[in-house]
Amino acid sequence: MDQTDWDALRTAATAVAERAHAPYSRYRVGAAALADDGRLLVGCNVENAAYGVTLCAECGVVSQLHASGGGRLTHFVCVNGAGEVIMPCGRCRQLLFEHGGSDLMLWTVSGIKPMSEVLPDAFGPDDLEGTN
Ligand code: THU
């Protein structure tokens, strides 16, 4: 994927950030990803009066991945309300790893990197092989 495509992904993330439901933090997040068949997936954060129930923008992306036919994530970016690239939180790195694996490419605050660098030595589905 070239920089033009990454820019389009970031534009999609910035657009969906405007739809965030973030009345408590007032921190809007938009996320966008590509699936392995080229589908564009987006999500925004959805906060809750019970703060811990908040859904990060990444949750929306993963839900849309499965709701629209499944597959694997191949490329991902998330941004704040100003359209600046931000890092997925720790929990969401784990979430993204489950659905994209080590080769998922992410646009991070320090450039485009594989998940193997964003979440090194990740615990994942392979660790459960043969345990049940
Ligand atoms: N947030 C996300 O949506 N994704 C992240 O990876 C970082 C944090 C949201 C959760 C909360 O609604 C707001 O940003 C402030 O933490």
Please tell me the distance from the alpha carbon of residue 46 to that of residue 67, in angstroms, as a whole number: 18
Enter the pTM of the model: 0.97
Residue with the smallest CA separation from ligand 1 atom 1 is 56
- Cβ within 8 Å of residue 23, ≥6 positions away: 47
Contact 78, 62 (CB under 8 A): no
pLDDT tier for residue 131 given thresholds of 50, 70 and 90: confident
What is the mean pLDDT of the segment spanning 32-60? Answer: 98
C-beta 48 within 6 A of ligand 1:
no
Query: Per residue in 16-42, pLDDT tens?
Result: 999 999 999 999 999 999 999 999 999
Distance (Å, whole) CA 26 – CA 64 = 24
**Ligand 1 site, residue 29, Cβ cutoff 6 A:** yes
In angstroms, rounded to a whole number, what is the distance separating the alpha carbons of residues 68 and 55? 19
**Catalytic residue positions, numbered:** 58
**Region 99-128 average pLDDT:** 98
- 71-108 pLDDT, tens digit each: 999 999 999 999 999 999 999 999 999 999 999 999 99
CA of 56 to the centre of ligand 1 (A): 5
Task: Name which of 71, 120, 68, 66 is nearest 93 in CA terms.
Answer: 120
Using the mean position of ligand 1's atoms as its centre, give its distance from the Cα of residue 131 in Å. Answer: 33
> How many angstroms separate the CA atoms of 91 and 36, rounded?
23
φ/ψ of 93, rounded to 5, equals -60, -45
